[in-house]
Chains A and B, each alone.
Chain A
């Protein structure tokens, strides 16, 4: 065999193993969740009952689906203005300056902080602040979790948008300037329109990350197994309920948790697919 063939073999073997692993994960999620779906049917998705009392066990995923979606969407909304302005600052206004380099390193650093550290900070700094602001007596809740989630996803949206924004060809910007455009007009008519699909991709990526975020959320969301009654009320998320309860779960409860894992997987996959579709449509 020549080296070309060996390279090809090694590479395809690698991709093949990856596919097997992914397929295996989906398989075990599906198999593990069968008892829950058999017992509750599709009602499992829409029921907000979560009762582990033996004999009358009843599980529904709605509180967690709601908690995950609400906290992630809220986090996205909070992070959007911050990451958008930061990416314009880095990629356009202060492109190539020392300030931008330092700030961009700091933003990347944010992405590298372990989520447990965010959780700790949220618990000991953000939560007391929420109490002071009069949001809940304990400071736990969907809103608090969303704020910490927002901070966590800022680096993702920012660094991708920043990269895309700084890739907008200089000659296009110069063309706009040569027609008498101001900087703001260049940003509005050249920079953003040329970068929008990448910017949107950044937000979808960060939304996907918010959906699956576990540790920091579980420390702040309040872990009450109900659909949150308000943005400031307590709730629970899909990832968080799994992390909290899998240790003591068996039988039907374990299957219910695995089923929630499967749903989380499906939602994340759908969000990513939607994002890719939007990008494709825009190009």
Chain B
């Protein structure tokens, strides 16, 4: 059954192979295999507790920060298993945006954007820094709003602006892939639509993997969708197809609001 519901992708940006994640003895992600297409938005959806965030966080090895979480399986980027490279190097190739906007409260807007360089001990000249900050903030359409207050604390911005600042922070280092964990769930509808527009624009240069519990969001902005239920990958395919003609009955039940 699962075989029929998995989309085939050539030259994937990311290839997840037989990935399992355990919280202590509890298997939260069960043998997921998926290829993610380059320069697309791929949505991971499913009801609460289905393992969608857990799957996402396995991709930049965030689980390794916690002793009780164990990961098995492979994730390939350019045919290299991410578990074979140092986590620090891997995380520089993958930006992450979190559920709640979390700019560093002790840093200014400017410092927040270049935090990735600072944290990795990479020294830039003043001119280079200015360039990175302006480019990243322009990428997230925040430049015009904050260019006069760059040296104020990022926490003074509105929630939507803070989240775009966090996206800029994730972009500044030039990652290939951006992982987003329900990035709009703490935002109002206007801020949400700005972030959504931004994601559609960003996929020209980046591959975006987006966890969302919001079906309409997945339908609006994603190219591919991945439906998870109870830790299993139920269905994966082009968003358009999945929303109009889901193959698995569970996907259909979810999309029609029978659960979740």
Where the two chains meet, the residues of A that have a C-beta atom closer than 8 Å to any C-beta of B are 169, 171-172, 174-182, 185-186, 189-190, 193-194
Contact = CB atoms under 8 A, between A and B. Distances in A.
A22 B173 CA distance: 58
Interface string B81-121: 00000001101101110111010111100000001101111
A179 B96 CA distance: 8
B102 A189 contact: no
Nearest to B116: A179
B105 A179 contact: no
B118 A189 contact: yes
Interface in B34-80: 60, 62, 65
B169 interface: yes
A179 B100 CA distance: 16
Contact of B88 (A169, A181, A193): A181
B170 interface: yes
B98 A175 contact: yes
Contact of B62 (A169, A178, A189): A178
B102 A171 contact: yes
A103 B149 CA distance: 45
Nearest to B95: A178
B199 interface: no
From A180, A190, A194, name the one whose CB has the most chain B CB atoms within 10 angstroms: A180
Q: Is the interface of A mostly helix, strand, loop or mixed?
A: helix
Contacts of A169: 102
Contacts of A186: 119
B133 interface: no
Interface residues of B, number: 29
Nearest to A193: B106
* The 8 nearest A-B residue pairs measured at CB: A178-B96, A181-B119, A193-B106, A180-B92, A179-B116, A180-B91, A171-B102, A180-B88
Contact of A179 (B89, B99, B169): B169
B132 interface: no
Contacts, number: 72
Pick from B102, B121, B169, B173 the residue with the most CB of A within 10 Å. Answer: B102
A177 B115 contact: no
B62 A180 contact: no
Contacts of A182: 88
B129 to A, nearest CB: 15
Nearest to A181: B119
A180 B65 contact: no
Nearest to B106: A193
Contact of B92 (A175, A176, A179, A193): A179
B166 interface: yes
A181 B95 CA distance: 12
A53 to B, nearest CB: 59
A185 B92 CA distance: 14
A177 B62 contact: yes
A179 B104 contact: no
Contact of A177 (B65, B95, B105, B106): B65
Contacts of A194: 104-106
A171 B88 contact: no
Contacts of A177: 62, 65, 91
23 contacts: A171-B99, A171-B102, A172-B102, A172-B105, A174-B96, A175-B96, A175-B104, A175-B169, A176-B104, A176-B119, A177-B62, A178-B60, A178-B62, A178-B91, A178-B94, A178-B179, A179-B120, A179-B169, A180-B88, A181-B119, A185-B119, A185-B120, A189-B118
A52 B44 CA distance: 84
Nearest to A196: B106
B102 A175 contact: yes
Contacts of B166: 175
Interface string B132-175: 00000000000000000000000000000000001001100100
Contacts of A180: 88-89, 91-92, 116, 119-120, 173
A171 B115 contact: no
Given A172-B102, A178-B95, A180-B119, 20 more contacts: A169-B102, A172-B104, A174-B96, A174-B98, A175-B96, A175-B104, A177-B62, A177-B91, A178-B94, A178-B170, A179-B92, A179-B116, A179-B173, A180-B91, A181-B120, A185-B119, A185-B120, A189-B118, A193-B104, A193-B106
Contacts of A171: 98-100, 102
A186 B121 CA distance: 12
B65 A176 contact: no
Given A177-B62, A180-B119, A190 B104 contact: yes
Contacts of B98: 171, 174-175, 178
B174 to A, nearest CB: 12
Nearest to B169: A179
A154 B254 CA distance: 56
